[in-house]
Structure 1
Amino acid sequence: MLESGTQDSRILLCLDISRLNRVSQFLLSTALVLASFLIYGYILEMTFHLEGMKEYSWYFTMLEFLQFSIFGLGERVVSHRCGLLKHKAPMSIYMLLAALTVATIGLSNMSVGYLNYPTQVIFKCCKLIPVLIGGIVIQGKKYGIIDFLARFTMSVSLILFTLTDSEIQPNFNIYGVVIISGALCADAAVGNVTEKTLNDHKATNSELILFSYSIGFVYIMFGLLLSAQLAPGFMFFQQHPLETYGYGAVFAITGYVGLNAILFQIKHFGVLAAVTVTTFRKMLTIILSFILFSKPFTFRYIWSGLIVLGGMLLNFYSKKKDIINNKFSALYKQMCQKKEAALLDQQNDSIDHI
């Protein structure tokens, strides 16, 4: 069931959808997540099919950050928020969040040039592994056997996917595994910092997006200047305007819409509902990637994907085991009571017959 939310106004992309019932709100936000991120993934893979594109992945990421910053500022303007550049969270937090976001998105985009896209998506599904490691090392958290079993199954699936790619992909590069692993670790940190920023400082979604992505844009631009890649990237994009600027605009728009829809679900329906939707979206992304783009296929991809799904289900059970156990216990007692009542009715019918 969806978690109960507050009765305050519910804003999705500057639109108040409070008049819709909760089911309609959930279905609308889910449709936006699925549609936007399926297009997002398709555009990303199609863009990196352009010969030479992987050399300029960071220039592509810089443009994405610039557009996200513009969208965030535009949302604040449309929402009539006073003080467009005022912020509730300290700027030091946004500088840290920007660095982590740059690493997450930049390395993720970069890995598409080296990895089979479904393998990249599977890696993203397994970010719970670095979350567990970080929780133990940084916060001293303790985890149960089910948590470790869930992460172990995910690790096995990653190994199987990587070995399968190395065998059937002619352009497989282990460098892509290193890159996406770095993105995975940064992504795990982004989630923790974002949650803390939203909860402790009551920052809005548009504020978080505006400052983290605008600062991230500055980081990437200076990095490209220092590495002398800014001018070559500009020239390459000028030579292929449709495949770069055109597709990049659609990529950024769909990404921004999807990000807002996910944040809306987290706030009003809970993390569990949002994670369920995004997991389903990733499964669809993998299926469509094999359908729309010609690539080698083997059933080992399916078995590896099922192992990932099993690990995610174990993680879900670990987080909600008390609720699940209580519900199954209540259901079992209800079934036993119905069975006893049915037997009692049969006995009474036998007595009446006699």
Structure 2
Amino acid sequence: MQRHSSKMTKAEVAEQVAVELISSPMNNDIYICGFNMSSLAPKWKFSISVAGIFILYICFGALQEAIFSANDLRSYSPFLTLYQFGIYSILSLFELRAQGYLLFNSWTHLYAVVAVLTLGSIAFSNASVGFLNYPTQVIFKCCKMIPVLLGGVIIQGKRYSIYEVTAVLLMTLGLICFTLVDVSIQPKFTLFGVFLVSLALCCDGALGNCQEVIMKKYVRSNTEILFYSYSVGFCLLATVLTISGNLLPSFYFFNDHALQTYGYGFIFSLSGYFGVQFVLCLVHSHGALTAVTVTTFRKAVSITLSFIMFEKPFSQGYIWSGLLVVFGLYLNLYNKNRSTWNTTILNKLKSFHLIKSDTKSILSV
């Protein structure tokens, strides 16, 4: 059914990859919390999806920043990822059982690769929050297309259009400008945080391309992919923490700060898991353009609330840098929908009598 899942940052990352998950023509039903949304009227799908996206992802972002702001969690962020993976594994298993789905056990070795990349994506993303200004982390996570394009060239030998290359250059320029603003005004800025979030993006890019290679040969439930990714990732991370001797110290630290870790982390994980379901529903009912517009606006709201709720210096440079990234996102989206967009633009211009009715679109040339 669905194509691939970059649910990496679970929410963030999950959110951006959700646009790609819906691309399969076999995906006719969308379930949210066990309820089939397919029978609802389009306006209700839109309203419910938008409300869910804003409520859940704003909670996700606020709780993620609150967890790292309330405690010095830098040394224990892998345990937060372990806790997150455990919750995701249980939720995806319940979802599979509720749908009466039989697990495809012979695929375990293939899912191990996806599990490692998913683990790297979420673990590095979580860890970066402890070293980066949260708005900067959000902006970086918006630019998943950069490693996806590079991964496509390296892993699959793909060739990309001038629009896609230009979009990546704009995003890269926006990231550089955003980072330079951070360097100039953030007293605790560290390049290690940029390194961590860049590793998360690289995992995202490799994950998407690996899943695409697998999906060309097999068609499996997205929930099944998630279950194996998170359950195998949980076992791998638990093993690493045990061998490194960090499992028990992290466990004791979380027990000493139960509300800010287990409590916030539980709601944080639920918000991330179910948030992506609302994104899927919106893409399914109203298309990728609407979904990208809503999620981009949601991220802008999250960044604004971050400056309001958590005291940090602000500069107008953040706005201009962010606009470069947004423009790159929409240029990439335009490239994927050129014929439809060109026709729509031409019809709008004709309806406002800005061009003659018999004029052909120069964009189609």
TM-score in terms of structure 2 length: 0.84
- After the TM superposition, which residues 167-316 of structure 1 pair with which residues of structure 2 at under 5 Å, given as runs? 167-194=184-211, 200-267=217-284, 269-316=286-333
Question: In 1, Cα distance between the equivalents of 2:105 and 2:281?
Answer: 19
Question: In 1, Cα distance between the equivalents of 2:29 and 2:149?
Answer: 35
TM-score in terms of structure 1 length: 0.87
Structure-2 residue corresponding to 1:109: 126
- Alignment partner of 1:214: what SS? helix
Structure-2 residue corresponding to 1:344: none
Question: In 1, Cα distance between the equivalents of 2:278 and 2:356?
Answer: 45
- After the TM superposition, which residues 40-189 of structure 1 pair with which residues of structure 2 at under 5 Å, given as runs? 40-79=60-99, 81-83=100-102, 86-87=103-104, 90-189=107-206
Contact 1:6 1:268 in 2 (8 A): no
Structure 2 unaligned runs (5+)? 1-22, 359-365
Once superposed, what is the RMSD of the aligned Cα atoms? 2.7
Question: In 2, Cα distance between the equivalents of 1:123 and 1:304?
Answer: 11
Structure-2 residue corresponding to 1:38: 58
Instruction: Report deviation, 1:68.
Output: 0.6
Question: In 2, Cα distance between the equivalents of 1:72 and 1:340?
Answer: 53
Structure-2 residue corresponding to 1:326: 343
Instruction: Report deviation, 1:192.
Output: 3.4
Contact 2:86 2:230 in 1 (8 A): yes
Question: In 1, Cα distance between the equivalents of 2:24 and 2:232?
Answer: 35
Number of residue equivalences? 337
Contact 1:88 1:202 in 2 (8 A): no
Q: Map Cα deviations across residues 139-193 of structure 1 (whole Å, 9 max, x no partner).
A: 2222222222211111111111111111211111100111100101111233334
Contact 1:158 1:304 in 2 (8 A): yes
Question: In 1, Cα distance between the equivalents of 2:133 and 2:253?
Answer: 24
- Alignment partner of 1:38: what SS? helix
Assess, with a 3 A threshold, how the Cα gap between structure 1 residues 210 and 22 changes in structure 2: closer, same or farther. Answer: same
Instruction: Report deviation, 1:197.
Output: 5.2
Question: In 2, Cα distance between the equivalents of 1:261 and 1:89?
Answer: 30
Structure 1 unaligned runs (5+)? 342-354
- After the TM superposition, which residues 340-351 of structure 1 pair with which residues of structure 2 at under 5 Å, given as runs? none
Contact 1:147 1:315 in 2 (8 A): yes
- Alignment partner of 1:48: what SS? helix
Q: How many percent identity over aligned positions?
A: 40
Instruction: Report deviation, 1:211.
Output: 1.3
